[in-house]
């Protein structure tokens, strides 16, 4: 019987030790790691349970303060009542164990971790009745678009992606986290009265009415919020705010689309990626872009992401053989990652940006591109199997 495990801890050494101990347990494998234990842990757990409904969670409660980590555990328990949870902590006194069990843990591991204790916990997990914890999560999904080089089309794809979802009557929010570029508003012709700065200031009392009062509603139906125009204000919106904000969004909206820009090592962007169901790495067939994509993937792996969260999208895709451009096979080989989709160039894309309306708002402007782009959205959202693989 094989076991899938999720592991949450901000202690790299603890995670390493768990990984090592699992080498001696061929029937158990780690399917996801979270480098912190924050109140939004449950979002990432739910997303992973969709892919691995039988997984169990190991959570290191010493990662945050006692109260905060118990709260995070409690939220996971509420969100996934059937999930088997092993909690770990340095203090094994009666009070700690009781409060941990009350917050929802099925088992307790004393830290520092001893291999024999770990083995025992895995054995108890094996004997525990199998329950399927995942599936049917009613949380919204976050789709992030990262550009691996300037101008590869991350903003354009994010804007049109949100446009298609809104046309499908999905409750959708588009967030621009490219604090330097701030191009989303420009591409959809919006002049925002309020920005992420006001969102940050009002998070404590945020509800749907307030949020929708703050943000711009695009004629296609999605809500849009982005950075303040003044560059000096960019540091105001923090990763902690982003985490609270994304928790609010996935509870209230079906889809959240993020233009993550290029700064993946920025704390705010990284937090958004950590809450994302899918990270689209947008690239082209040019060699410098591929090299950068390689660096981005390596970085994301180091940050604890797994390969199936990352989807490579080749924009300006051309099939024609040309020694200046890599083929999809070459890209796949270099990145050790399948290409999820290829999206062709179309002059109408540029025209639509000049008109400040997403191309998908006019289905006749470039019907073939439009059809292929919608097939990309289908494939990404799992609506139905995309017939055409490339545009």
Tell me the per-residue interface mask from 300 to 339 with ligand ATP, x by CB under 6 A, - otherwise: ---------------xx-----------------------
Closest approach of Mg ion to the CB of residue 261, in Å: 6
Distance, in Å, from the CA atom of 157 to the CA atom of 133, rounded to the nearest integer, reads 33
Q: Which residue among 35, 104, 163, 181 contacts ligand ATP (CB under 6 A)?
A: 181
The token pair that represents 92 in the structure block: 């094994």
Closest approach of Mg ion to the CB of residue 341, in Å: 18
309 binding Mg ion? (CB under 5 A):
no
Closest approach of ligand ATP to the CB of residue 375, in Å: 14
Closest approach of Mg ion to the CB of residue 353, in Å: 11
Q: Which residue among 18, 70, 122, 152 contacts ligand ATP (CB under 6 A)?
A: 152
243 binds, among Mg ion, ligand ATP, none (CB under 5 to 8 A by kind): none
- Evaluate whether 40 touches 239 at the Cβ level (below 8 Å): no
359 binding ligand ATP? (CB under 6 A):
no
Q: What residues between 180 and 209 interact with Mg ion by CB under 5 A?
A: 181, 183
156 binding ligand ATP? (CB under 6 A):
yes
155 or 289, CB closer to Mg ion?
155
176 binding ligand ATP? (CB under 6 A):
no
Cα atoms in the 13 Å half-sphere on the side-chain side of 322: 9
Cβ neighbours of 330 (radius 10 Å): 13
Distance of CA 276 to the CA centre of its chain: 1
Binding part of the chain for ligand ATP, among 83-91, 144-152, 237-245, 379-387 by CB under 6 A, reads: 144-152
Q: Which residues contact 99 (CB under 8 A, 6 or more apart)?
A: 70
234 or 345, CB closer to ligand ATP?
345
Q: Which residue among 32, 62, 155, 292 contacts Mg ion (CB under 5 A)?
A: 155
221 binds, among Mg ion, ligand ATP, none (CB under 5 to 8 A by kind): none
Distance, in Å, from the CA atom of 260 to the CA atom of 270, rounded to the nearest integer, reads 9
Closest approach of ligand ATP to the CB of residue 219, in Å: 20
Binding part of the chain for ligand ATP, among 86-94, 105-113, 177-185, 328-336 by CB under 6 A, reads: 177-185
Q: Which residues contact 255 (CB under 8 A, 6 or more apart)?
A: 140, 141, 142, 143, 162, 165, 170, 171, 172, 173, 381
Binding part of the chain for ligand ATP, among 60-68, 69-77, 219-227, 348-356 by CB under 6 A, reads: 348-356
34 or 317, CB closer to ligand ATP?
317
Distance, in Å, from the CA atom of 83 to the CA atom of 210, rounded to the nearest integer, reads 34
How many chain residues are in contact with ligand ATP, going by CB under 6 A? 21
Q: Which residue among 10, 202, 306, 345 contacts ligand ATP (CB under 6 A)?
A: 345
Q: Which residue among 346, 360, 365, 375 contacts ligand ATP (CB under 6 A)?
A: 346
Q: Which residues of the chain form contacts with ligand ATP (CB under 6 A)?
A: 147, 150-156, 178, 181, 183, 261-262, 315-316, 343, 345-346, 349-350, 353
């Amino acid at each position: 019987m094989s076991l899938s495990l999720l592991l949450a801890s901000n202690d790299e050494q603890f995670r390493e030790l768990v990984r090592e101990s699992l080498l001696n347990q061929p029937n158990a494998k780690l399917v996801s790691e979270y480098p912190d234990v924050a109140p939004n842990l449950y979002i990432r757990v739910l997303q992973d349970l969709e892919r691995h409904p039988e997984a169990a969670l190991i959570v290191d409660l010493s990662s945050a303060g006692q109260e905060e980590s118990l709260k995070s555990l409690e939220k996971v328990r509420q969100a996934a009542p059937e999930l088997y949870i092993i909690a770990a902590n340095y203090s094994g006194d009666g009070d700690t164990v009781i409060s941990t069990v009350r917050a929802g843990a099925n088992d307790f591991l004393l830290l520092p971790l001893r291999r024999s204790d770990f083995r025992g916990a895995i054995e108890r997990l094996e004997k525990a009745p199998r329950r399927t914890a995942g599936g049917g999560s009613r949380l919204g999904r976050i789709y992030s678009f990262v550009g691996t080089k300037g101008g590869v089309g991350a903003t354009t794809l994010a804007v049109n992606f949100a446009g298609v979802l809104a046309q499908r009557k999905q409750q959708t929010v588009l967030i621009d986290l490219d604090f330097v570029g701030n191009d989303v508003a420009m591409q959809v012709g919006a002049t925002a009265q309020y920005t992420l700065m006001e969102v940050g200031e009002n998070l404590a009392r945020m509800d749907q009415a307030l949020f929708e009062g703050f943000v711009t509603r695009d004629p296609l139906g999605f809500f849009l919020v982005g950075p303040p125009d003044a560059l000096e204000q960019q540091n105001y919106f923090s990763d902690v705010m982003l985490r609270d904000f994304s928790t609010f969004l996935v509870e209230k909206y079906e889809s959240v689309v993020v233009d993550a820009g290029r700064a993946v090592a920025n704390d705010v962007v990284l937090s958004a990626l950590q809450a994302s169901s899918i990270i689209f790495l947008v690239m082209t067939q040019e060699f410098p872009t591929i090299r950068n994509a390689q660096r981005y993937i390596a970085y994301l792996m180091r940050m604890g992401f797994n390969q199936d969260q990352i989807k490579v999208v080749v924009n300006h895709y051309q099939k024609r053989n040309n020694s200046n451009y890599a083929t999809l096979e070459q890209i796949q080989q270099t990145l050790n990652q399948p290409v999820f989709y290829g999206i062709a160039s179309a002059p109408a894309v540029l025209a639509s940006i000049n008109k400040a309306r997403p191309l998908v708002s006019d289905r006749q402007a470039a019907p073939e591109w439009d059809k292929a782009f919608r097939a990309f959205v289908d494939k990404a959202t799992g609506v139905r199997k995309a017939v055409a693989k490339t545009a």
